[in-house]
Amino acid sequence: MTSPLEALCAALVVLALTAYVVLGGADFGGGVWDALARGPNGKAQREVIARAMGPVWETNHVWLIFAIVATWTAFPAGFAAMFTLLAVPILIALAGIVLRGGAFALRERAAELGQNHGGLSALFGATSIVTPLFLGASIGALASGHAGEPTGATDAWLQPFPVCIGVFALCMCALLAATFLTVETDGDLRELFRERAITAWFATAIVGFITLAVARTSAMTIFSALAQGRALIPFAAALLTGFVTLAMLIRRRFPAARASVVLQVTLVLLAWAVAQYPYVVVPTLTIAQAAAPKATLQALAIVACIGLAILIPSLLYLFSVFKNQSTKAS
């Protein structure tokens, strides 16, 4: 049985992952739209994407680092299982993060110097697509039950359900980015990103329902929890919030759409976390089995809470500073 302290540490990991998906996911989605920028205003699209993510894109990885370190510290057996069974997709995703960041930084410098940066743009776009695909597939493998099988576990991420989760994660990133960019732009560009946000919304919905259909046979633990178990309430709330997001986009209420899509993604992750509880790796490794000794968990909980009390206001201040500068510049 999971103790309150173990549940608290697991909740801290989920909180960090949620922050990373919302903030880092929007950046990945920006890279997707950067890769798809075409037409007479293609350059303007790439410029507004770079301006929106440029000042703060590096800070988003703080949440991923926090999640990895917290998992390693609080749930060492779970960390070992993840990085053993899912070494291939996780390493590809981590390589994508590094290459993506390098390509983005070098591309901006090459543009300042007036040099050709077509290859860097292609690398930035490709890694923006690959990274959420493989991160999503890794999470899907842990939830599906295939990663816990005694044979063939290392290819669990190639099964239908994890692949669907990877595509779903990519669509969510595109939806987040396009919705955020409707607030960052005006005129024709705003209408363009509004159309892309609506397109991404429908793509996310279609892939989501396909994923549920696949889960019925390939991830029965998760499907049961979502359809009629403890995760039904957050799952239903995520669906409802999704329709609110669509309505706000259609009515051109862009700040409300941005708030709604953030809540939508948060509820999706909450539904996943509740559905998978109490497992780290379904169905063989629980939170209690993977947990570190009580003293380690106590130390982590204290340090993490103090750190978050400092980190969250600092990041909010950072975002507000760059947002004010961007507003003055425009």
Categorise residue 201: left if φ over 0, alpha if ψ from -120 to 50, beta otherwise: alpha
Retrieve residue 187's tokens: 């005129």
Q: Tokens 């493998």 label which residue?
A: 141
Number of domains the chain is built from: 1
pLDDT in tens, 31-63: 999 888 887 888 888 888 888 776 566 778 889
CATH number for the domain harbouring residue 215? 1.20.1630
Per-residue pLDDT band at 134 (split at 50, 70, 90): very high
The verdict on residue 81 lying in a domain is yes
CA pair distance 227, 74, nearest whole angstrom = 30
C-alpha 217, offset from chain centre: 25
Q: Is residue 89 part of a domain?
A: yes
Is 266 within the bounds of a domain?
yes
At 14-24, the pLDDT tens digits run: 999 999 999 88
CA distance 166 to 168: 5
- Tell me, yes or no, whether 316 lies in a domain: no
Q: What is the CA radius of gyration of the chain?
A: 20
pLDDT digits (tens, 9 = 90+) for 145-198: 876 565 545 688 989 999 999 999 999 999 999 999 999 898 899 999 999 999
306 is a domain residue: no
Q: What is the DSSP string of 233-276?
A: HHHHHHHHHHHHHHHHHHTT-HHHHHHHHHHHHHHHHHHHHHHH
Burial class (CB in 10 A: 0-12, 13-18, 19+), 46: buried
Domain that holds residue 45: 4-299
Distance CA 308, CA 181 (A): 27
Strands 279-281 and 285-286: antiparallel
Q: Is residue 304 part of a domain?
A: no
Model confidence at 108, pLDDT cuts 50, 70, 90, reads: confident
Q: Looking at the domain assignment, is residue 49 inside a domain?
A: yes
